[in-house]
Amino acid sequence: MTELKLPSIDYAALAPILIMLGAALVGVLIEAFVPRRLRHAVQLGAALLAVLAALYFVVDNAGERQITIGGAIAVDGPTLFLQGAILVLAAMALLLIGERSIERGGAFVAQAAVVAGSEDDRRQAEESGGATEVYPLTTFAIGGMLIFVAANDLLTMFISLEVFSLPLYLLCALARRRRLLSQEAAMKYFLLGAYASAFFLFGVALVYGFTSGIPGRTAGVDFATIHAAVADSPSSPVLLYAGMALLAIGLLFKAAAAPFHVWTPDVYQGAPTPVTAFMAACTKVAAFGALLRVFYVAFSGSAWNFTPVLGTVAILTMLVGAVLAVTQTDIKRLLAYSSIANAGYLLVGVLALNKEGLSGTMFYLVAYGFSVLAAFAVVTLVRDADGEATHLSRWAGLGRRSPFFAALFTFILLAFAGIPLTSGFTSKFAVFGAAIEGGQSWLVIAGVLTSMILAFPYLRVVVMMWLSEPGESTPTVSVPGGLTAAALMIGVLATLVLGVAPGPLLDLANGAAEFVR
Amino acid sequence: MNEFFSVEPDYYLILAAVLFTIGAVGVLVRRNAIVLFMCVELMLNAANLALVTFSRINGDLNGQIMAFFVMVVAAAEVVIGLAIIMSIFRTRRSASVDDANLLKY
């Protein structure tokens, strides 16, 4: 009998992941043992503390460049940068999730199992505080995302994909108001998400089959083996192409790229707004982190084959996002289509396939995450007696009624439109510049053209807010509680700072822009 | 094992591809959320079959180990999925995905 060889595990490098998953388990215990009236404060405190502790270890690991735990996790520049980004954005999202002063009991339903619309449901909508299960679910999702951007083999990637997706499906279903919409969004997200991850898994199987028979290596799905197989495998390339396509479907679905975007507007609209903000910022970072690693590390030898296809997807995504954003009448759906278009711009950065593309994409993810969190923070504030007033016609005249928040929202919209002195401009500049350098000018032309289309819906909202008279039905803007105010101000300030002085973060992204193999 | 009973591993791959296609098409054409969900499970199991077959062809254990992980993930997915479908069913008395049509355009 041969001796069992255990892989070496560097616990310090894995600390952020372990802390988040541990905190999620502690959250489940808190749910069981802490009295109901204390739970909200304890859960929120524990979750925020865990995020900060994980962030501390990410910063502490800054110089770490290694592959650990038997080749499953790569801790390198992009991993640490993206983990840091996810944690910072997740902390802001947690602030939005924890807000309870805008609406009695917060944005979440107390008992998700109570039938929507029943007598019990009306009672709990008025009296009970929201479910505190959202905090362990969110921390599980954050933990999964931290693994997702660090995964160095396809199996780990698949598991972490599910670890962060499954809690998100549930979080979507937990809105306090308009519960039918919320449940419907969760069902759509779940069915399509499971469908996409099944494609991803079959892709894993095909790529595993492709890696057989390389001299001197056993077959496997870690990226070093795949990289070697792409260069020199006796297996049929059909396996590789089909596998790559199926993997891309799974990842592009999470990134909300066309034609795998159809879930995005429905889910963004139906989900509780803090959860939408969390998805728009953090899921985007995680999905593109994995996409970058798969295509830069594992399949880089096959770039000639995937660039035209992904380029077409990028153009389609930008077009669909920009054109359909014009026709939207609901602010959350508008932001969803804007998020789709932004996935297209991010893909342009990915397809640059050079160091600038990598750092530009990472910078874009952070900048967009801050702006989109701030945007959804404003959406949670514009309310009437019926909850959030998301229909665009209701936003007419908002500038007269509460100029301060309308001004903040205008600033964020201008950032989305890519006006100079906002982070939207610097981040688009970074990815487009990298793409030109990488020889993908056709993508940049499409990107600039669609940006011009996309400016129209943003400016329409701005004009509506400032130039219309407030009517009877114009809702009031609630005075935000401390948590939402903090998240909103951080988002707006980051949007401004990254637009005026992007240097430090760009340098950080540049220094981090190298994968270990 | 008798030569007569042994089957070329390629046939299993073809079977896996066929099962996967049936699942993928099923998701697109069926209307009941539970049936959709079963089709997704069929796709996952097709992937498992492919993994195990490749493991056999390659002569290593990686594929079989992956299949175990996939089974656990599939089980977790069932829990979440049925919870969501149940909560919708209790309100609407229907599990048809065509009835869930509040969100559109």
Contact of B100 with chain A, judged by CB distance below 8 Å, is answered with yes
Q: Is residue A5 part of a domain?
A: no
Q: Which residues pair with A383 in a beta bridge?
A: A388, A476
Contacts of A173 in chain B (CB under 8 A): 84, 87
What is the structure's pLDDT at B2? 53
Considering its fold, how many domains does chain A have in total? 1
Q: What is the pLDDT of residues A305-331, one digit of tens each?
A: 999 999 999 999 999 999 999 999 999
Residue B5: band (very low, low, confident or very high) from pLDDT cuts 50, 70, 90: low
* pLDDT above 90 coverage of chain A, percent: 78
Q: Is the pLDDT of residue A340 over 90?
A: yes
What is the structure's pLDDT at B1? 47
Q: What is the pLDDT of residues A236-278, one digit of tens each?
A: 899 999 999 999 999 999 999 989 999 999 999 999 999 999 9
**Letter for the amino acid at A391?**
H
What is the chain B residue with the closest CA to A160?
B73
What is the Cα–Cα distance from A86 to A157, expressed in whole angstroms? 16
Q: Which CATH number fits domain B31-97: 1.20.1050.10, 2.40.30.110, 1.10.10.10, 1.10.287.3510?
A: 1.10.287.3510
Average pLDDT of chain A is 93
Task: Give the mean pLDDT of A336-353.
Answer: 95
Mark yes or no for CB contact A208/B62 under 8 Å. Answer: yes
**Letter for the amino acid at A9?**
I
Distances (CA, A) of A509 to A82, A252, A456, A505: 9, 23, 31, 6
Q: Is the pLDDT of residue B42 over 70?
A: yes
Contact of A121 with chain B, judged by CB distance below 8 Å, is answered with no
A410: enclosing H helix or E strand: helix A403-417
Q: Is residue A6 part of a domain?
A: no
Average pLDDT of chain B is 89
Q: Which residues are CB-contacts of B77 (< 8 A; sequence separation ≥ 6)?
A: A162, A166, A194, B40
- Measure CB to CB from residue A180 to each of B60, B84, B102 and give the nearest one: B102
Q: What is the pLDDT of residues A367-404, one digit of tens each?
A: 999 999 999 999 999 988 888 888 988 888 888 888 99
Contact of A435 with chain B, judged by CB distance below 8 Å, is answered with no
Contacts of A186 in chain B (CB under 8 A): 84
What is the structure's pLDDT at A2? 67
Q: What is the pLDDT of residues A134-193, one digit of tens each?
A: 999 999 999 999 999 999 999 999 999 999 999 999 999 999 888 889 999 999 999 999
Q: Which residues are CB-contacts of A364 (< 8 A; sequence separation ≥ 6)?
A: A342, A345, A346, A349, A427, A428, A430, A431
Helices (H), ranges, A220-302: 223-231, 237-255, 263-270, 273-278, 284-293
What is the chain B residue with the closest CA to A267?
B103
Mark yes or no for CB contact A184/B102 under 8 Å. Answer: yes
> Can you tell me whether residue A73 is helix, strand or coil?
strand
**Domain spans in chain B, listed from the N-terminal domain onward:** 31-97
A43-47, A84-88, B91-95 — which is least confidently predicted? B91-95
- Measure CB to CB from residue B87 to each of A113, A212, A221 and give the nearest one: A113
Q: How many helices (H) and strands (E) does chain B have?
A: 3, 0
Residue B105: band (very low, low, confident or very high) from pLDDT cuts 50, 70, 90: low
What is the structure's pLDDT at A128? 80
What is the structure's pLDDT at A385? 80
Distances (CA, A) of A501 to A212, A349, A423, A493, A498: 50, 21, 9, 11, 5
Q: Is the pLDDT of residue A77 over 90?
A: yes
Contact of A181 with chain B, judged by CB distance below 8 Å, is answered with yes
Contact of B21 with chain A, judged by CB distance below 8 Å, is answered with no
Q: Is the pLDDT of residue B20 over 90?
A: yes
- Measure CB to CB from residue A162 to each of B23, B51, B76 and give the nearest one: B76
The nearest CA of chain B is from the CA of A118 a distance in Å of 9
Residues of the domain holding A192: 11-512
Q: Is the pLDDT of residue A121 over 50?
A: yes
What is the Cα–Cα distance from B58 to A282, expressed in whole angstroms? 38
Q: Is residue A517 part of a domain?
A: no
**Touching B: A residues 319-378, CB under 8 Å:** 327, 333
Task: Give the mean pLDDT of B12-39.
Answer: 95
